[in-house]
Amino acid sequence: MYVAVKGGERAIENAHALLAEDRRGDTGVPELSVVQIREQLRLAVNRVMAEGSLFDPDLAALAIKQARGDLIEAVFLIRAYRTTLPRFGSSRPVDTGAMACSRRISATFKDAPGGQVLGPTFDYTHRLLDFRLAAEGQGLPKPATADPVAGPVPHITSFLNREGLIETDRPGDDLPPDLTREPMELPAARALRLQAITRGDEGFILSLAYSTQRGYGRTHAFVGELRIGTVAVEMDIPELGFAVEIGEVELTECETVNQFTGSKTEPPQFTRGYGLVFGQTERKAIAMSLVDRALRWKELGEDDTGAPAQDEEFVLMHADNVQATGFLEHIKLPHYVDFQAETELVRKLRAEGAARRQEAAE
């Protein structure tokens, strides 16, 4: 029996007021500004931009403030806001070879032209809590400066390319599929997979990538190159008839070099995995490139070992944290009628069982 009920309006209003008060916390402590979040919690901002799939640091910072630091809630807010905006078009593909790099390292070539540039990294820190940060107003160390390398820094995998030791990506200009406009259809083209992974949940992509390293769909990855920096975004403007730069975005790019012993169709050579993510998001970009490579087993004629990271449907349909949390959290909302039906069913089954036992006993 379906019973429609109303109510809870006042409870909801009061709950939202309480939420707002808790968000603010102790009013004796100065309020956090959106600009402070943007500048000082920048990696959280980057994660929200990457998974929200919208590059706008101020909006991401606002979402983090509103979500009380719950980053998945902040991603949800960004995705919801994005749907209210008209889309003016698509950019030309960004040229990461022309990136103004603030970090660029290779685990495969020590003496890569352009050098190993560490940039603002947590690597080589001792992971000891720094209590000086708890005392505000401490002086800052002044970063040193040196003469920058002139001109763009070449991609490291291009050196392997010259020897034919690594597969080459065939350039193309096909219109890529867009999962924000068309429902995802499987099997998915690599372009669609990359779009799903770059906006996927960092924790999920990280765990999948880790599973490939532990042997579930192993691909023997080295980080051929990791670079972080800004690239120009250029768009064709129809009314002008030519392309102009409309801004620049910070990106993290990871190219892995993977051992490949060859298959029926391909000679032994190195293969590649690719990660490209908004912001300084290096864990995500590395994980993305490992998962990308694992998903390429069919195209490269490798065996399906049944590993989760090789299962396109498993990876792509579970990577989105807004979808996941939406479905997960909906089960806490009223299901009174469903549950009532189940209760009736259990009672009925118990009664039937009891009757059968009684019959048997007689």
Partner 1 sequence: MTVSVPPPDLQDRRTWMGLLARARPERLAELVPDEPDPGPVILRQPEIGTVMVQGRIGAAGSPFNLGEMTVTRCSLRLESGAVGHAHVQGRSKDHARRAALVDALMQTGRAAQLRRDVLEPLLRDEAGRRLARAGKAAATKVEFFTLVRGEDR
Partner 2 sequence: MANPLTAETLGGGFDDAPIQSARAFRAALDAMARPGRIHVIAGARPPAPLSAAAGTLLLTLADGTTPVHLAGDIDCDALRGWITFHTGAPLVPAEAAVFAVGRWTDLAPAHRFAIGTPEYPDRAATLIVEMPVLEAEGPVLAGPGIRDRARLTLPDPEAFRANHALFPLGFDTFLTCGNRVAGLPRSTRVEDF
Q: Which residues bind partner 2 (CB under 8 A)?
A: 86-90, 181, 238-241
When the beta carbons of 121 and 216 are compared against partner 1, the nearer one is 121
- Residue 272: contacted member of partner 2, partner 1, none (CB under 5 to 8 Å, by partner type): partner 1
Least Å distance, CB 197 to partner 1, is: 10
Cα 73 from Cα 85, distance rounded (Å): 19
Name which of 84 and 265 has its Cβ closer to partner 2. Answer: 84
Of 219, 248, 209, 217, nearest in space to 232 by CA: 248
Burial class (CB in 10 A: 0-12, 13-18, 19+), 352: exposed
Toward partner 2, which CB reaches closer, 86 or 141? 86
The rounded distance, in Å, linking the Cα atoms of 123 and 182 is 40
Which element (helix H / strand E) includes 102? Answer: strand 100-105
- State the minimum distance, in angstroms, from the CB of residue 304 to partner 1: 22
Question: Taking CB within 5 to 8 Å according to partner kind, which of partner 2, partner 1, none is near residue 192?
Answer: partner 1
How far apart (Å, rounded) are the C-alpha atoms in residues 138 and 130? 12
Residue 116 or residue 180: which is nearer to partner 2 going by CB?
180
Give the residue with the Cβ less far from partner 2, 32 or 179. Answer: 179
Distance CA 192, CA 200 (A): 12
Residue whose CB is less far from partner 1, 238 or 306: 238
Question: How near is the Cβ of 76 to partner 2 at its closest, in Å?
Answer: 23
- Which of residues 151 and 183 has its CB atom nearest to partner 2 in the complex? 183
Residue 195's binding partner out of partner 1, partner 2, none, with CB under 5 to 8 Å set by partner kind = partner 1
Cβ neighbors of 241 (< 8 A, separation 6 or more) are none
Q: Please, what is the minimum distance in Å from the beta carbon of residue 67 to partner 1?
A: 19
Selection from partner 2, partner 1, none that 94 binds (CB < 5 to 8 A by kind) is partner 1
Quick one: DSSP state of residue 166?
A: B
We find the least distance from the C-beta atom of residue 235 to partner 2, in angstroms, to be 11
Partner from partner 1, partner 2, none contacting 107, C-beta within 5 to 8 A by type: none
**Closest distance of CB 238 from partner 2, Å:** 5
Q: Shortest approach of partner 1 to residue 315 CB, angstroms?
A: 16
Least Cα distance to 336 among 3, 12, 15, 6 occurs for 3
- For partner 2, give the closer residue by CB, 238 or 306: 238
Residue 119 binding result from partner 2, partner 1, none, given CB thresholds of 5 to 8 Å by partner type: partner 1
Residue by residue, DSSP assigns 227-282 as EEEEEEEEEEETTTTEEEEEEEEEEEEEEEEE-----SSS-S-BEEEEEEEESS-H
Shortest Cβ distance from residue 322 to partner 1 (Å)? 14
**What residue type is 233 in one-letter code?**
V
Mention every residue, 6+ apart, whose C-beta is less than 8 A from residue 290.
208, 209, 212, 213, 219, 221, 256, 273, 309
From the list partner 1, partner 2, none, partner contacted by residue 155 (C-beta under 5 to 8 A by kind): partner 1
Q: How far apart are CA 40 and CA 35, in angstroms?
A: 8
